[in-house]
Structure 1
Amino acid sequence: MNYEGEFDGKCAVITGAAGIYGRWMAEAFAAEGMRLLLSDADAAGLDAFAATLPNRPETIVTDLTRDADLEALLSRAEALFGAPDILVNNAGVFPSGWLLDIDLAEWDRIMGVNLRAVFALTRGTARQMIAAGKGGSVINVSSGASRKMRTTVVPYCTSKTALDRLTKGFALELARFGIRVNALEPGFAPGSAASPLTDAHVEATTAGIPLGRQSGPADAPGAALWLASQAASYVTGATLAVDGGNSIGTSAVFQDKKEPL
């Protein structure tokens, strides 16, 4: 989609920018002429990635479970932009383990990154937008796991279900200020250093995706740009799945059955 300079000079904050979805979104946003503040806990990965982008963006290393780091990120955004036009709450953790084996510290870490940090950053950014007298767009990266419980990742599923409700709550309360809040569910894209997957898992998951392929670098970023654009100016509180149909069902392949006519 051609936005014809709509995003030139716009300011965006992206968390989890060293991860696969974060990199793709940052590349797409930078290509549209946006000024970026990229955040991640991985200092080396963040620095290496930022160096690949045109007009090297601002970066800040952030542990989203630490209140001081959350405040530092908000303060940096305010110092750079006054108020960003777009916030992408992309960072997330996806550890696995049976509920009986997960300790409270791990539970708190998952909820801290996937939910509490989103609340704090959305609240703080919205306050900046309101003080600046302008609207804006907040995009929360959710998951089809918010609607489909899975063994060994129950805390993750729980955090994403809560994130969807938080998205709608913020959308309701911020609408009067012209701030839109939506959720985006990206598709399956193996390659996360934080959550490595076996070849067998990747093959099996890809085979079950209704549209028959993994997510590519244009899929989720294209949806995020649309949600942030004027084309979506009447969209708030929505959840947009860009996952090849993976969240609605799984394609089963039966070797002994003929394809339907």
Structure 2
Amino acid sequence: MIPDYRGEFTGKRVVITGAAGLIGTWTAEAFHAEGADLLLADNRPGPVHDLAERLGGQAVVSDLGTAAGTAELLAALDERWPSADILVNNAGVYPRTPVATTDRETVEQIFAVNVFAPYQLARHVIATMTRTGTPGAIVNLSSGAAKRPTRTGGVYSATKAALEMLTRSLALETGEAGIRVNAVGPGFAPGSEVSELPEEHVAKMRRAIPLGRTSGPGDAPSAILWLCSSAASFVTGTTLDVDGGRTAGDFTPAPSPTTPGGAS
């Protein structure tokens, strides 16, 4: 459940990229419930327009893997507001490909969406916040993969590690202007994948989470809204992992009393 911020976000100008994805949609719904004014960006025209119509926001169709797509989003932002109050860099791509066999073009595409686009958007929003005296907040969506690489996701892990360092660097640069920059590492949410995941894979992932469940609609959005709120006014340059303990370390469930090695 999202806390009641008692009107703190009413009328706040919020930009969310990757808005038509699962976590993007949950986050947009959470801000909408708090009365925010939304600019929702995604490269999927139908889903992002449907979401914007449902929540009363503006949809922008843009491919953040290209310079032109990022420029289109920035132009739409400038046309709508003098400055945003909040930027949520949620858009990301996760092709499963080993580092050693990934061609340069693919690596550049992953970095373009996961690192360079958030950098460009943050840079632009910071400039408008500074010019208009807006004490805003930026939240970048990271991943446990920044700390726990896999054999088929090394490039993705590298982009998320870079995004976390970018978050910290921007926090150092913008604190004096009253702008806070943080990151959230959401937990495993089965519906966030482009393709449907087999139940056995979901069950395996669930067993690896100390709290014993996958991420739901109140988890990452709660952290994002909190980081953007006055309750977190002294928080900047940090990554908040909201993953049920997944990144805390290797986790093996305790054996049950009826299994070999369990209590008798």
Alignment of 1:30-45 (within 5 A): 30-45=32-47
Change (3 A) 1:115 1:256: same
State the aligned residue count.
258
Q: How far apart, CA to CA, are the structure 2 residues paired with 1:48 and 1:4? A: 27
Q: How far apart, CA to CA, are the structure 2 residues paired with 1:259 and 1:235? A: 44
Aligned to 1:246: 246
Is contact 1:209–1:250 with CA below 8 Å preserved after alignment? no
Is contact 1:12–1:36 with CA below 8 Å preserved after alignment? yes
Q: How far apart, CA to CA, are the structure 2 residues paired with 1:196 and 1:93? A: 16
After superposition, the CA RMSD in angstroms is: 1.5
Q: Which amino acid aligns with 2:19?
A: A
Q: How far apart, CA to CA, are the structure 1 residues paired with 2:10 and 2:198? A: 40
Is contact 1:213–1:244 with CA below 8 Å preserved after alignment? yes
Give CA deviations for 1:90-147 in whole Å, capped at 9, x if unaligned. 0010110122321111111110000000100000111111111111000000011111
Is contact 1:87–1:137 with CA below 8 Å preserved after alignment? yes
Q: How far apart, CA to CA, are the structure 1 residues paired with 2:16 and 2:261? A: 46
Q: How far apart, CA to CA, are the structure 1 residues paired with 2:213 and 2:17? A: 26
**TM-score (normalised: structure 1):** 0.95
Q: How far apart, CA to CA, are the structure 2 residues paired with 1:30 and 1:178? A: 24
Is contact 2:98–2:155 with CA below 8 Å preserved after alignment? no
Aligned to 1:223: 223
Change (3 A) 1:259 1:204: farther
- Where 1:95 maps in the other structure, the secondary structure is coil
Is contact 1:94–1:195 with CA below 8 Å preserved after alignment? no
Q: Which amino acid aligns with 2:217?
A: P
Q: Which amino acid aligns with 1:256?
A: P
Give CA deviations for 1:151-197 in whole Å, capped at 9, x if unaligned. 11000000001111000000000111111000101111011352543
Change (3 A) 1:31 1:186: same
Q: How far apart, CA to CA, are the structure 1 residues paired with 2:263 and 2:25? A: 38
Q: Are 2:243 and 1:256 equivalent residues in the alignment? A: no
Q: How far apart, CA to CA, are the structure 1 residues paired with 2:263 and 2:131? A: 59
Q: Specify every segment of 5 or more residues in structure 1 that has no aligned partner in the other structure, as ranges.
A: none
Aligned to 1:161: 161
**TM-score (normalised: structure 2):** 0.94
Q: Specify every segment of 5 or more residues in structure 2 that has no aligned partner in the other structure, as ranges.
A: none
Give CA deviations for 1:28-86 in whole Å, capped at 9, x if unaligned. 00000000000001111212222332xx1101011112212212211211221210100
- Where 1:36 maps in the other structure, the secondary structure is strand
Which of 13, 16, 22 is the equivalent residue of 2:15?
A: 13
* 1:251, distance to aligned residue in structure 2 (A): 3.0
Aligned to 1:24: 26
Is contact 1:95–1:195 with CA below 8 Å preserved after alignment? no
Q: Which amino acid aligns with 2:119?
A: F
Q: How far apart, CA to CA, are the structure 2 residues paired with 1:259 and 1:218? A: 36
Query: How many percent identity over aligned positions?
Result: 45
Q: Which moved more, 1:59-68 or 1:251-260?
A: 251-260
Runs of 4+, deviation exceeding 6 Å = none
Alignment of 1:72-111 (within 5 A): 72-111=72-111
Aligned to 2:212: 212
Q: How far apart, CA to CA, are the structure 2 residues paired with 1:100 and 1:250? A: 25
Q: How far apart, CA to CA, are the structure 1 residues paired with 2:234 and 2:263? A: 41
Aligned to 1:138: 138
Q: How far apart, CA to CA, are the structure 1 residues paired with 2:137 and 2:38? A: 14
Aligned to 2:51: 49
Q: Which amino acid aligns with 1:47?
A: H
Q: Which amino acid aligns with 2:21?
A: G
